[in-house]
Amino acid sequence: MKKIIIIKYGEMTTKKDNIGLFLRTLKDNIAKKLAKEEVLISYDSGRMFIETTEDHYQKVLEKLQKIFGIHEIVIGYELNSIDIEDLKEALKEVIEPISFHTFKIETKRSNKKIALKSPEISKILGGVVLKNKENVKVDVHHPEIVIHAEIRLEKSYLYFETIKGIGGYPVGTLGKGILMLSGGIDSPVAGYLAMKRGVKIEAIYFESPPHTSEKAKNKVESLARILASYNNDIKLHIVKFTDIQEAIYKNIPHEYLITIMRRMMYRISALIAKNNNCKIIVNGESIGQVASQTLTSMNAINRVVNLPVIRPLACFDKLEIIDLAKKIGSFETSILPYEDCCTIFVPDHPVINPNISKCEEYEQLIPYEDLIYQAIKTHEIIHITENDKNYQDIL
């Protein structure tokens, strides 16, 4: 009998036609995340199995809890047998060190060649527990532990300990999107949620040096690194937005500064998305949060692109977003005080209901196509992986 980690896929198994792609991607993602551990990964259409040594065990469990597509992580025992007598012996050994008062046995028999039916196996195994543990009884409704027995083609498994995974689809199975990543609280959470649906993320950050500092940029890199720890190496596009922002500031009525600025951001994001095979734009907008996120504003801004813009946080309250930011580990970095390019040029009275014809008219006052071309041509690309140098140290 050997200790083994079993991965349950959950929702993924409903994707019948794509199951091959889903499983291969999940296996590759797990292998990448566990590259530094000593592991052996195998899988079939129902389960993935990970063998590791005792000293890597905890680390492996921790890392598995950051991989999308994993719904349940099971700490189990594998037997090279499907014989009931062997199973009984193994069960004796497995329950020996644990203490409990009530239990139930759940049997899953995917090998239909076995003569005994699942309830019969449960009954036999229940008998083993009752005989070998003192003061225990069966409780089918509220047991302290559920002992699972699974009999597969050539092997069987016993387990009673499970850890909830983060769920979702394996990153990469749904293609790529570009995340507008600012230094705020919202956009990293939006990126996390898009990744959870299987979308691989590239990120784009607009900086305005010298109005924004190197520290603000490092902060965004740190946020990208936190997102990268969810199994997604991130290509971060850093776009210099200074010339565009100054041209807008000097030439366009200030109530329209933000609207036009965001239309420019969207245009650039869409162009970089197309050049990098990203099918959607993802951002952290939330309905009503600020003047640029009223429905009329969203409409005026969204119009300049023809890619779908996915806003995972559209209907979240700020407090719900903060809770998620804390859960995924981005909150502490997001609240570091460095300025963002949007906050520097904020007008006193931004328009809440921008008029689209006015946007178009004002945009003619600046050579925005040339400015966008320049910004894209000179943009910087940084490849971020979770194990890079930790910028937290220098922030």
Q: Which residues bind ligand ATP (CB under 6 A)?
A: 180-182, 184-187, 204-206, 283-285, 289-290, 340-342
Q: Are the C-beta atoms of 259 and 292 separated by less than 8 Å?
A: yes
Rounded CA separation 89/200 (Å)? 46
Identify which of residues 296 and 343 has a Cβ nearer to Mg ion in the complex.
Answer: 343
Stretch that binds Mg ion, among 181-189, 199-207, 214-222, 261-269 (CB under 5 A): 181-189
Q: Which residue's Cβ has the minimum distance to ligand ATP?
A: 184
Contact of residue 194 among Mg ion, ligand ATP, none (CB under 5-8 Å per partner type): none
Contact of residue 181 among ligand ATP, Mg ion, none (CB under 5-8 Å per partner type): ligand ATP
Distance in Å from the first CA to the final CA of the chain: 49
Rounded CA separation 90/76 (Å)? 12
Q: Are the C-beta atoms of 173 and 150 separated by less than 8 Å?
A: no
Nearest distance from residue 341's CB to ligand ATP, in Å? Answer: 5
- The single residue listed with the structure tokens 């719900």 is 320
Q: Are the C-beta atoms of 48 and 6 separated by less than 8 Å?
A: yes
The amino acid sitting at 246 is E
Rounded CA separation 133/320 (Å)? 46
Nearest distance from residue 371's CB to ligand ATP, in Å? Answer: 16
Contact of residue 6 among Mg ion, ligand ATP, none (CB under 5-8 Å per partner type): none
Identify which of residues 157 and 205 has a Cβ nearer to ligand ATP in the complex.
Answer: 205
Nearest distance from residue 262's CB to ligand ATP, in Å? Answer: 7
Identify which of residues 186 and 340 has a Cβ nearer to Mg ion in the complex.
Answer: 186
Neighbours of 383 (CB within 10 A): 11
Q: Which residue's Cβ has the minimum distance to Mg ion?
A: 186
Rounded CA separation 333/256 (Å)? 30
CA dihedral 339, 312, 199, 379 (to 10 degrees): -30
Is residue 386 part of the contact set for Mg ion (CB under 5 A)?
Answer: no
Nearest distance from residue 183's CB to ligand ATP, in Å? Answer: 7
Contact of residue 180 among ligand ATP, Mg ion, none (CB under 5-8 Å per partner type): ligand ATP
Nearest distance from residue 205's CB to ligand ATP, in Å? Answer: 5
Neighbours of 220 (CB within 10 A): 29
Stretch that binds Mg ion, among 92-100, 135-143, 184-192, 255-263 (CB under 5 A): 184-192
Contact of residue 304 among Mg ion, ligand ATP, none (CB under 5-8 Å per partner type): none
Tokens of 391: 């910028």
DSSP type of residue 383: E
Identify which of residues 28 and 246 has a Cβ nearer to ligand ATP in the complex.
Answer: 246
Identify which of residues 24 and 326 has a Cβ nearer to ligand ATP in the complex.
Answer: 326
Contact of residue 158 among ligand ATP, Mg ion, none (CB under 5-8 Å per partner type): none
Contact of residue 118 among Mg ion, ligand ATP, none (CB under 5-8 Å per partner type): none
Contact of residue 187 among Mg ion, ligand ATP, none (CB under 5-8 Å per partner type): ligand ATP
Identify which of residues 186 and 386 has a Cβ nearer to Mg ion in the complex.
Answer: 186
Neighbours of 361 (CB within 10 A): 12
What Rg do the C-alpha atoms of the chain give, in angstroms?
27
Select from 69, 125, 183, 186 the one that contacts Mg ion (CB under 5 A): 186
Q: Are the C-beta atoms of 30 and 66 separated by less than 8 Å?
A: no
Of the candidates 227, 228, 254, the one whose C-alpha atom is nearest the C-alpha of residue 354 is: 254
Identify which of residues 149 and 181 has a Cβ nearer to ligand ATP in the complex.
Answer: 181
Of the candidates 33, 27, 26, the one whose C-alpha atom is nearest the C-alpha of residue 63 is: 33
Rounded CA separation 96/1 (Å)? 14
Rounded CA separation 344/361 (Å)? 24
Contact of residue 168 among ligand ATP, Mg ion, none (CB under 5-8 Å per partner type): none
Site of interaction with Mg ion (CB under 5 A)? 186
